[in-house]
Amino acid sequence: PASRRNGPAPRRTSTPGQNDRSCGGTASAADRNATSAGAAATTDPSTTASSRKRGHQNGTATATATATATTTTTGRKRRRPAAHQQQDPRVSLRLVQNAAAKSDENPKVRKLTDDEWGDMSDIFATAFPDGSKFCVYVKEGTNVIEIFAIYPPQDGIPEEPYANRTSEILIQAFGGRIFNWNDLAPFAPKGFCKRVKLKEIRRVLLSNPHIIADCFARMIETLDDNKIVYVAGDIPQIAFSAALGWGIVKELEAPGEYGVGRYQIGGKNVYAIYAYHPSSGITAHGKGSTTRALKHDLEIIRAVAEVSKHGYEVRTGELDAAISGKVSVSVLLWKEGAKEVQKYLDIPMGPNGWWPEELRVLRLVNFADPFFFETIKYLHEEKSISKEKILGLLSVPGVASA
């Protein structure tokens, strides 16, 4: 019944905000926290004032990493050892294992009934303290991009999937309404999105695999060969990884240097990429490392869309080359810089080609700036700081981003 789908009753009244995913809608907690990142690891501390100024003009910050590393080394201010310093980094630097993926239950891909969703509103009650309403966005049909997200924006209306600032930004970035929304928790909060408890949503999803399966069932309805699945944020990434473990998603080609892989979902061969949620750039007010990383992500997604827009299927092993022909020079330089750092610090990538959980903050680094890599080499080769300690330092929010 419709009355049961209106979600849990509000516990308190909240002043209505904009119908906007930027309030926190489907952005992950890590994405929003990362926007507060501070100075970057950059130059040699012995650099002159003029060279530091020149480095700043090139988009870098002061030598935060060197100063912090020196403090840690001398013992003047000891910090709790990071996981990388407690055990072998090749063991600890891995994608967080998903409890749901280990479950004996492999959920059937099917859409939940209205009555089932009525019961779900009670399960999600704690996650939406100001109340929520059931909202599954109406799709216009098959689109180039299917966005795999968390929940709709505040006061979302099912018939108006593009009536929010996040959608407007994507329309501009992609050149049109070429995307559909697929929310894991189809409940639009009645209060501010910043009050939504993401940890509770994650707990509910991992405890109820059939909810994740429902989202895939809705996505498959408008999915076609050579389309793109945009995994937007950390919680959708966890759900996508779980679906790989269940067999709902099958890997055809592992993600390459751009993080784009080929998968089979519902019998359709598609591309998928794990990227920042688009609202993360809004919450950063168009500035900073998060906005820069988001622009790179969206440019890569658009490049894949251009490669596959006429149903063209890239042969195995040729996807990275096809993307390289479509992206800008800044994205190419970022990719090459990231490869250098990964190789130098012996960072193993996660099983899906993504940065390990503890170093996911490195996605915010401006790898196109050579000063970042040079500083890492300086710390290790000149200051004799171990790679494990450098990894532990880089995992601290605010150190790696610029």
> How far are the Cα atoms of 6, 42, 264, 314, 370 from residue 53, in angstroms, in the given order?
56, 12, 50, 45, 15
Query: Is residue 281 classed as helix, strand or coil in its secondary structure?
Result: helix
Reported for 213-217, long-range contacts at CB under 8 A and 24+ positions apart, including other chains, are: 213/107, 213/108, 213/109, 213/110, 213/243, 213/246, 213/248, 214/110, 214/111, 214/112, 215/148, 215/182, 215/183, 215/184, 215/239, 216/109, 216/243, 216/248, 216/249, 216/265, 216/266, 217/109, 217/110, 217/111
Q: Which of 267, 278, 158, 171 is nearest to 223 (CA)?
A: 267
290 has pLDDT over 80: no
Tell me if residue 46 falls in helix, strand or coil: coil
In percent, the amount of the chain with pLDDT more than 70 equals 65
Which pLDDT belongs to residue 282? 60
Q: Are 383 and 73 in contact (CB under 8 A)?
A: yes
The residue with tokens 């799709």 is 139
pLDDT, greater one: 275 or 353: 275
In what helix (H) or strand (E) does residue 232 lie, and over which residues does it extend?
strand 228-232
Q: Which residues pair with 263 in a beta bridge?
A: 251, 270
Confidence at residue 400, expressed as pLDDT on a 0 to 100 scale: 61
Q: Looking at residue 314, what is its pLDDT? A: 66
Q: Taking all residues of the chain, what is their mean pLDDT, rounded to a whole number?
A: 74
**C-alpha closest to that of 192 among 397, 14, 389, 382:** 14
Which stretch of 133-147, 186-200, 253-267, 289-303 has the lowest confidence by average pLDDT? 289-303
Q: pLDDT tens for residues 183-234?
A: 999 999 999 888 999 999 999 999 999 999 999 999 999 999 989 999 998 8
Question: Does this model's pTM top 0.85?
Answer: no
What are 264's two structure tokens?
A: 């089979």
Helices (DSSP H) in 94-191: which residue ranges? 114-123, 165-174
pLDDT the model gives residue 275: 86
Task: Note the pLDDT of residue 320.
Answer: 86
CA distance 103 to 96: 15
Strand order in the sheet with 249-253: 179-183, 145-149, 228-232, 268-275, 260-265, 249-253
10 or 294, higher pLDDT: 294
| pLDDT on residue 339 | 83
Return d(Cα 96, Cα 276) in angstroms, integer: 17
Q: Under a CB-based contact definition with an 8 Å cutoff, are residues 205 and 276 in contact?
A: no
When pLDDT is averaged across residues 30-55 and rounded to a whole number, the result is 38
Per-residue confidence band for 55, with pLDDT thresholds at 50, 70 and 90: very low
Whole-angstrom distance between the N-terminal and C-terminal Cα of the chain? Answer: 50
* pLDDT beyond 90 at 285: no
pLDDT at residue 174 tops 60: yes
Least trusted range by pLDDT, from 59-63, 163-167, 180-184, 389-393: 59-63
Percent of the chain with pLDDT over 90: 34
- Taking CA atoms, 295 is separated from 32, 201, 263, 283, in Å, by 16, 27, 24, 14
- Coil, helix or strand for 397? coil
C-alpha–C-alpha distance, residues 360 and 65, integer Å:
17
Q: At 235, which helix (H) or strand (E)?
A: helix 234-246
- Per-residue pLDDT at 347: 83
Tokens describing residue 23: 């309030």
